[in-house]
Structure 1
């Protein structure tokens, strides 16, 4: 083997290793980019899900409070129906307005379609 041949072989091996190292780094950078995109997407989806859950709890609370109020007013009307029909009608009217207001509030809390 000629003395310069060994040097050329070593230089060739170094060049091949350098190119392979660059290719590997490029693959790793691309993997990192894809991973970051996936994390961003999953984070966004988790945020949307959390917001839907929060809104659902608000709608549930509004409806539960409204229904509780309506039940109380209907019970009050029932207990006064024989003794004071006018008071019973007032309670029933208020129960209707309360139900309408609760429904409107729940619609305002619900996300748009």
Structure 2
């Protein structure tokens, strides 16, 4: 699937498969997925800073997968998944709020039409 939380978990655990449990910490993995990933692709994202695009996720910290929350970064890397995301903001525009995607019915309708057209070609 395209769940970035699962990708972070897999990337970190894969590095540990060589027998070193402290290689690639949760913080390193989180930075790789955010600011360092943005730098690698020369994107103006990855951190909350003036002049950067306002892309961010609001996480539901009451989600059971994040309990207990002793280390939030570790929880995000090893325990979180897409269902923990409450709100998504991209370039300052709210795309999902309270787990409701704005215009979801229209998006699904258009996607089905595109898929149908591709199959019929």
Q: TM-score range by the shorter chain?
A: under 0.3
TM, length-normalised to structure 1: 0.25
**Structure number having the greater helix percentage:** 1
Larger RCO (alpha carbons 8 Å, 6+ apart): 1
TM, length-normalised to structure 2: 0.24
Larger CA Rg, structure 1 vs 2: 1
